[in-house]
Structure 1
Amino acid sequence: MKKHSARVAPLSACSTPVLTLTKLEGEDRSRENVVGTADAQSAGAAGTESGSSKRRLHCCIRVTTVQIKKALWGVAMVICVCSSWAGSTQLAKLTFKQFDAPFTLTWFAASWNCLFFPLYYIGHICKSPERPTPRQRFRECCRFFGDDGLTPKVFLTKVAPFGLLWILTNYLYLQALRKINTTDVSALFCCNKAFVFLLSWIVLRDRFMGVRIVAAILAIAGIVMMTYADGFHSHSVIGIALVVASASMSALYKVLFKMVLGSAKFGEAALFLSIVGCANFVFISFVPVILYFTHVEHISSLADIPWAHLCAVSALLFAFNILVNFGIAITYPTLISLGIVLSVPVNAMVDLYTGEIQFNTVRLIAVFIICLGFLMLLLPEDWDQCIIQLSTKLRKRDEPAEGSMEAGAATGLNWRGRSRTSMSTFAH
């Protein structure tokens, strides 16, 4: 499996020991002692072999237990990612029926990013034996921006552009929800992974993979078919263009982050996201005010603002960002990405239940090929070599069986020949 692009090092609490190993090791030792009292010479002769086999068993059990634990965490992570992403999308759609102000909702939700670093620091001091002060930890994480730390120049060149892309991604996504249904929006947003591959291949000179080119073609074909499903009406075309632009901004954010900043550890990523949230709260607060007084965004009165819906949408988006950015500490990145694509059928079931969508053959095919392209992009770079190795192992496993069958057949023929000869001799 391909390693994740970020230099994410799990917290010290994530490397928990497997408690079942001690029990299994003790049981093996007791059995060895019983065998030793029965036959001392055989136990002494097989001492080295039993020790090596016990170490191999110890490693196998540990690896298997860790993998099972990681897979179980992955299942929980898939459910949480899918629920948070689909829930935030559905709640945002519902919120616009009472609060038609997408930029204000975007600004309010992005301001919650200020909580990333405080929550990380609380978890760090609870799990780490060291107890650095917030200022010390802040200075350590600021080394991510360079030797001089977070300077005004670094902020303007390495933080502000990503904050702008963050706002554009979420604002265009929410604007698309006002035009088209949640199923189409969530399905079309899955194209951002294809855009990431294309930009990485062009800008970062990443490895060329034919299967990912096919996935990108499927994503583009799905966009065209999704537009055709509604008959190229202006309302749906604008909504599809908005969500495709949102997916493009998301892909540009990821590729530029890798090109400009490289990769980040957990503390560095938490600090970066907190700075983006604080910058959004401080420097963009005037925009919702201007939109309110110019009546671009219709808000009847401050008392009628559905704060419960705003906080619910922001909390779900915040939880989604936590799971996506820091969930690889406990599970595989592929499973986290799988939770995003599973939000498409969840939104489809909700839209079908509420009557927000009418499925036809073209829309179903478009959603299917977009999701298929997304899943194809999750394949590791050496997926073809893995298939070749697996087929080779299966062939080697079948060869002894075939050889034994041939040997058995030859033995049977010889036995029959010998029996016939002996019978003929006895007859004479």
Structure 2
Amino acid sequence: MFSSESVSESGEQPCIQLEPLKNTHLPCKPTPSRTVLAECSPKATANGVHDIEDRILRITGYYGYNPGYSSHRREDGSDSRAETPGSETSSETRSLHTCANTVLKVLGGLLMVLCISSSWVGTTQVVKLTFQSFSCPFFISWFSSNWNILIFPIYYSGHVFTTREKQTPIQKFRECSRLFGEDGMTLKLFIKRTAPFSILWTLTNYLYLLALKKLTSTDVSALYCCHKAFVFLLSWIVLKDRFMGVRIVAAIMAITGIVMMAYADGFHGDSFVGVALAVGSASTSALYKVLFKMFLGSANLGEVAHFLSTMGFFNLIFVSCVPLILYFTRIEHLGSLSSMPWGYLCGLAGLWLVFNILVHVGVVLTYPILISIGTLLSVPGNAAVDVLKHEVIFSVVRLAATCIICLGFLLLLLPEEWDSVTLQFFANIADKKSEEQGEELTESSVNTRSRSRANGTVSIPLA
């Protein structure tokens, strides 16, 4: 049994103390002399109401009964919770932190858009310069694709500097190899998973380079933007994505632009062949993206970097025979190693590598729609270079076709809920206008009443 003296030795005033019960006759039940708990607060002993309430709560089991869980304790607890000043400040800091993250993400996305469009414009223009002295499109495509091997080492370097978790390159490589299955990457899975994507990757680049030999950079970049429409059509057919009427309209606009581009110089000659090659490049790119989404859609950034580097290894090992075959059959004349424009080749491969890294990293760091806009902005960028440097004169039909394709590309960027969001936006505007008109009517009625009272006239409402 504790005594009051032993409790008060700490120098603090105790809130609960033990007292002998002087009155042994309680109004509810006679009890012998015993010790009870009495609170120092005057609220706890007011006519014994709270003690009776505690007994009722204990008998009924209400609220899972805890001793002393009566109404005055609930009131005290609610008061203490209501008076906490840290809740409002914490919500304000959270909102400020969210706004700051959104602003940084948007600014980073705008910078990413500028870098993506610049790298793609630079890649296309360097290809045109390379063709002046070295016309071997497949070798250029093969040489540039080999640089994808560097993507995973670049990712690992960034991972080491940005995270505290330290893993060896082999450990990180094995961790990302789970993309191929639970057992990691085997030779069978390496060929089975990598071969189709590597072939589509090589075809996309090779057809794009062939199209640049026939058409201007602006026309090829505009036609390549049609891959977004092909991605939607394939996703709708293969992946059973949601049907959207506006995207069907965008796909029709893309096809219309393709036909107009082919008709610009008549359905013959290099122009028609160039349009067909550019559309073929857009089609293989769309098929690559749909298959990637089907089989590797849940891959993270490390797994994507691992996969692209694996495709680079596959290209180096298995596709290297194709440039040799083209060389010995005199289809592509490489010449001596000293006569090859290694400066242009390395610059082209580096820009292509930067573009691929920015596209895959930008999807993780910022909004995917900004990445698509960066690809679209390469069209006016190439047009500016063609007009200012190469003095290209565009016909009215080509300009109209380019504008139609770009407009269809923008329609494809609309989100799935764009119609409901737009209707809700206009409904909110209409509600605000009706509220403002109602306030103006009430103010005008108040003014008329005040004027009538001042003039001594009374307005009688009509029945």
Pick the aligned partner of 1:390 from 425, 441, 444: 425
Cross-structure match for 2:150: 115
Within-5 A mapping of 1:26-425: 53-355=88-390, 357-421=392-456
Q: 1:211 to 1:98 in 2, by over 3 A?
A: same
The amino acid of 2:411's aligned partner reads: M
> What TM-score comes out, normalization by structure 2 length?
0.78
| 8 A Cα contact 2:266 2:272, kept in partner | no
In the alignment, the residues of structure 1 paired with residue 104 and residue 436 of structure 2 have an alpha-carbon distance, to the nearest angstrom, of: 35
Query: Partner amino acid for 1:198?
Result: L
CA distance in 2, matches of 1:137, 1:415: 80
Work out the percentage of aligned pairs sharing the same amino acid: 53
- Paired amino acid for 1:257: F
Asked if structure 2 preserves the Cα contact closer than 8 Å seen for 1:181 and 1:356, the reply is no
Quick check: 60-69 or 102-111, which moved more? 60-69
Number of residue pairs matched by the alignment = 381
Report the Cα offset of residue 385 of structure 1.
1.4
CA contact (8 A) 2:225 2:406 kept: yes
CA contact (8 A) 1:158 1:260 kept: no
Q: Deviations for 1:24-55, whole angstroms, at most 9, x for unmatched residues?
A: xxxxxxxxxxxxxxxxxxxx99x859755544
Aligned CA distance change for structure 1 residues 100 and 337 (closer, same or farther; 3 Å): same
Equivalents in 2 of 1:395, 1:270: separation in Å? 49
Paired with 2:457 and 2:252, the residues of 1 have a C-alpha distance of: 73
Within 1, Cα distance between the matches of 2:83 and 2:370? 41
Q: CA deviation at 1:420?
A: 2.8
What is the TM-score when the length of structure 1 is the normalising length? 0.85
Larger Rg: 2
Show the counterpart of 2:69: none
> More helix per residue: 1 or 2?
1
Cα offsets for 1:96-126 (capped at 9, x unmatched): 1111111110010000000111111111111
Maintained 8 Å contact 1:145/1:261: no
CA distance in structure 2 between the aligned counterparts of 1:113 and 1:277, rounded to whole angstroms: 5
Moved more, 213-222 or 124-133: 124-133
Q: Gapped runs of 5+ residues in structure 2?
A: 1-78, 459-463
Distance, in Å, in 2 between the alignment partners of 1:406 and 1:152 is: 79
RMSD: 2.2
Q: Deviations over 1:54-105 (max 9, x none)?
A: 4443333222222221111111111100110011001001101111111110
Work out which structure has the larger RCO, using CA pairs closer than 8 Å and 6 or more positions apart in sequence: 1
- Retained in 2: the 8 A contact 1:230–1:236? yes
| Structure 1 gap segments, 5+ residues each | 1-43, 424-428
- Which 10-residue stretch deviates more, 312-321 or 148-157? 148-157
Question: Is contact 1:179-1:238 (8 Å) kept?
Answer: yes
- Determine the C-alpha separation between the residues in 2 that align with 1:194 and 1:88: 23
Q: CA deviation at 1:274?
A: 0.3
Q: Distance in 1 between matches of 2:87 and 2:453?
A: 46
